[in-house]
Structure 1
Amino acid sequence: MVHGWHKRGGTVLETSRGGFDLKKIVDGIQQRGFNQVYIIGGDGTMRGAVEIFEEVRRRKLNVSVTGIPKTVDNDVGIIDRSFGFQTAVEMAQQAINAARVEAESAVNGIGLVKLMGRSTGHIALYATLSSRDVDCCLIPENDFFLEGKGGLFEFLERRLRDNGHAVIVVAEGAGQDLIPRTDAQSEEKDESGNPVFLDVGGWLKSELKKWWARDHPNELFTVKYIDPTYMIRAVPANATDNLYCTLLAHSAIHGVMAGYTGFVSGPINGSYAYIPLDEVAKEKNKVNTRDHKWAWVRSVTSQPDFIRT
């Protein structure tokens, strides 16, 4: 039945967002006689898994509850990485390459790519480092501004004068504080209770056009906006992620068979470990902008640090 599933994109199990009903879930586990439950998802799912584990324990059910960390954003804390991340970074290269080609083919051309990453910019960061065609990488962990000395517009003007084109990669959660919102938009939540983000890519494209029309009204200028959001996660896993998933699954099953419950299986410093569910649920894997990887991004792109002076 499951033969060949690992070679397909998406999920045969299907996904859900919101609608968490603890009683209904644990009642279903109990009524069906399950003694092993593997809960696959990101940090929100891990928080739900903690509640399921505690309810199972409260009812004194003989059920092992195990978390399998899954998010292409790579924002699950403690573990080295989550599966799907490396495939997403690999697929993002196609969008960046297309943006570069389009930008180079125009006079004063800018290629703008929006990548997944609500609260963390790991995909944008690693895609930038892998590509080395990116002139500016914007992520949620590093604030930026548009106008004035040290701002994005000043940097882009210099880059266009020097090279004739530029490529920008922006994570979907970057710059949300800069985008004007109505009161209704400020209060809007998704099914899981998370704030609904506005389209930073569309907003930035509009702001770039306004800036150039204002400061250089008689000069040609083009912005090509590419949003591969779902394309980078709807593909089959690459070989690295495929192997990782196999090892992750084996590790989780061995933990359950050894009698453990309430844990997450995942690699820490390259070694597979069993981590308490509640520890993983409360941690978030953010980009450390004082880390060497962000320094590499600054070095590769020559972008400003966006610190106002």
Structure 2
Amino acid sequence: MTDVCPFPALDTTIPVLGPAKIPSPLPYCRCETDAARANIELTNEDLDEITAPCFARFEVAGPRERIYFDASKAKAAIVTCGGLCPGINDVIRAIVMEAHHNYDIAATLGIRFGLQGFIPSFGHPAMELTPENVADIHQFGGTMLGSSRGPQEPADIVDALERLNVSMLFIIGGDGTMRAARKIQEEITTRRGKIAVIGVPKTIDNDISFVTKSFGFDTAVEKATEAIRCAHTEALGVLNGVGLVKVMGRESGFIA
């Protein structure tokens, strides 16, 4: 048994733009308070090893009784970056539907072809996302917004957000994209801007700490299983046949 905290430097506090004063437009929901916390450690092994009351905790997910932005005046933007992953269109659709039907947000914009969509020289105009034009996108793979790789200057991106009068940016991508999201947020903070940046981690590798399962992982396992079955069938077709299958995962072996 030990009294040493396993996550002594882990700060899970979510920064805020200011006090939330506007009543939530969700009248029939169970709202959480910002003070509510969920423990990270949930297994019996973790609980057996630690006696000190120093568990790292996350804020409990869910709607709040009061919100910061006036939804009738707020504008959201969604951008998808990096490689494709099953479920991206589902995420886009869910954000648009929630913003429109439950929060009655003024507008939701789709940024085309990743971070390039913020840079005027690439010529990718933003598109308005509505419940009508995202209604069926969850039935298709890829991303309806397009994607791209490679960095862009955070200052140029924030300039674009200000031109578009965006209140909140949802940025969907992998580890590199999350680092870009942090730089964008830091640039906004430097300017004392009032734009929220929400990172939505995307990976089929299922290698996100403290997350039970990442979106796209189940599909990746399903497709890998099909490939293995095909390789097994091929191997059985010849004497001493061997089938080799390489699956994705980088440093994690969840798919394997």
Q: Shorter-chain-normalised TM-score: which range?
A: 0.3 to 0.5
TM-score after normalising by structure 2: 0.47
TM-score after normalising by structure 1: 0.39
Q: Higher relative contact order by CA 8 Å / sep ≥ 6: 1 or 2?
A: 1
Q: Which structure has more helix as a fraction of its residues?
A: 1
